[in-house]
Structure 1
Amino acid sequence: MEGIAIEQSQVEFRNCFRRSIHDGGNTSFWHDHWIGVDKLSSLFPRLYRLESNVDVTVKERVLSGSNELTLNNNWVRSPAGRVTDELYVLTGLIKSFGFEQGGGQNRWVWTLDSDGLFRVNSLASSIDAQLLGSNVSSLCTIRNNIIPKKIEIFAWRTLKKRLPVRIELDKRGIDLDSVRCPVCDDDLESVEHSIIFCKNALDIWDRVYKWWNMGSFSSFSIQEVLGDDPASNTSKFGKKVWLAVRWISAYLIWKNRNNKGRSSGYQQDRRSRNSIGSCGSQVPHLAFRVDGIVSLGR
């Protein structure tokens, strides 16, 4: 989640809280989220414009009768037309509401957990669900505990196509001399080109796949290269190791791309291949060698 603000994650953070009402004396009827899926000023905008006192509290606006709750209306004019539809829905919503029993105080409740207590884990899960959408299950392996955290973060950013490649920087109005690939200059630099289709990247992937006896490299999307591979005929841990090798390879390809200006293309290619060949040093309890798919070193 590095670099992602909550408001940019498509999660309505304010709607993750609601007001738990005992008497409603210090809860805004219109501006606090105490009933429904949002604050009432957003759910019923036409009625809100007719309100004579927008700062009215729940206690002042909702009356508790013998059998049900009722609205103590105070409009600047009588609702008419489509506004009556909003009034009908609001009245039904109020009637179905139940005040908290006992002498407690009004308080804020976290809606993502059943006990009403705020937890970072539940917020993170909600943000993941919004950002990853239908791909949540296929991206669950983002948490791979056999590689450094920085590579996990890189893999997540790559799968979400959040790398600062030149096409994306240009879209954000950043003035660049060129939007072509800084390594091969053969095409526009997108995430797919930088990590997969650049000549340097293709050479690396071809060597990695042959090294691991995975056949020739023939993937055409980031998801195919860095996503989980359920078809791989090996153990659960073997799949995790093979995924780790691909993530480390992609990370070193990207690192090589960022070092473009420091050395010649030939030197970069050689350094990338040597770095990948020694990537076992980043996963201390594994010895990477070709033996079917993976051989474990203890």
Structure 2
Amino acid sequence: MVGECRGLLLDIVPQPNISDQWLWRHEVGGGYSMRDAYHLLTTMDPPCVDTTPDLIWHKHVPLKVSVLAWRLLRNRLPTKDNLVRRNIISHDSQLCVSGCGGLETSHHLFLSCPVFAPLWCLVKSWIGISSADPDLLQDHFV
């Protein structure tokens, strides 16, 4: 909800040379009405709500785990596809380190690699939960 409000506030700009007056960009005349705000909120695309910060940066989660999760969910790990994109390694050396033949991406390493992906079953067994494995890293994390 905070992100939605912050996004709406970006559409209100102070007017120079006019004291105590604001301009609402979504109305032709610049005036603000609840009707116009309601119309904007009900017709705009739903915002991307990121619920993971509370999970990632929890006080009981070690900092190194939080940093790894943050980098993983934002595709900032030094996987071979990211290294190729940054011109650190060549295109022909982006195969998975496990030798399975797949392209090394975060998704591949954590969810679809035949060597590393089965580790999730062991982790779930270790912490005593059972669930269907989601296909997205974000869903898997939550």
1:165 to 79, 87, 94: 79
User: Unmatched 5+ residue regions in structure 2?
Assistant: 1-12, 21-46
**Closer, same or farther: CA 210–136 of 1 in aligned 2, 3 Å:** same
Q: CA deviation at 1:153?
A: 0.7
The Cα RMSD (Å) is 2.4
- 2:71 matches 1:149: no
TM-score relative to the length of structure 1 = 0.31
TM-score relative to the length of structure 2 = 0.60
The one-letter code matched in structure 2 to 1:154 is L
* 1:184 match: secondary structure: coil
User: Unmatched 5+ residue regions in structure 1?
Assistant: 1-35, 38-92, 99-132, 228-298
**Closer, same or farther: CA 138–147 of 1 in aligned 2, 3 Å:** closer
2:18 to 96, 105, 110: 96
**Closer, same or farther: CA 184–219 of 1 in aligned 2, 3 Å:** farther
1:94-149 CA-to-partner distances (Å, cap 9, x unmatched) read 44137xxxxxxxxxxxxxxxxxxxxxxxxxxxxxxxxxx72322432111222321
> In structure 2, what is the Cα distance between the partners aligned to 1:135 and 1:161?
18
Aligned residues: 103
Specify the alignment match of 1:224 in structure 2.
139
> In structure 1, what is the Cα distance between the partners aligned to 2:117 and 2:17?
65
> In structure 2, what is the Cα distance between the partners aligned to 1:184 and 1:217?
26
Specify the alignment match of 1:202 in structure 2.
117
Specify the alignment match of 1:140 in structure 2.
54
The one-letter code matched in structure 2 to 1:97 is S
Aligned runs of 1:170-181 on 2, under 5 Å?
Answer: 170-176=84-90, 177-181=92-96
